[in-house]
Amino acid sequence: MSSSSGMIRVTYVKSAIGYSQRQKDTVRSLGLRRLGESVLQPDNPAIRGMCVAISHLVEVSPVGDAEVTTVAGVSADGDAD
């Protein structure tokens, strides 16, 4: 399930209110603060494990190469736009 760019988009879709502090801390560790917010994270086993632990609170989707360069504001050769 790895994308070619090595990045995944994690979207916060359900509130962590009523869940354990450990799950709330995992949401924050992924860089998520508000409902509906999305962040790009590297696609590696550590991040995947965090997403599985709170899969009832987040949605995970692969990100294409073009989308990564557009979001980051950097072209494929490393020059800023």
User: Can you list the residues of the chain whose pLDDT is less than 50?
Assistant: 3
Residue 16's CATH number: 3.30.1390.20
Residue 72 lies in a domain: no
Give CA 18 to chain center in angstroms. Answer: 22
Residue 55 lies in a domain: yes
Per-residue pLDDT tens over the stretch 36-51: 999 999 999 999 999 9
Strand partners, 39: 10
- pTM value is 0.76
Residue 31 lies in a domain: yes
Instruction: Pull the structure tokens for residue 57.
Output: 């609170």
What is the domain range of residue 13?
7-63
Domain count, the chain: 1
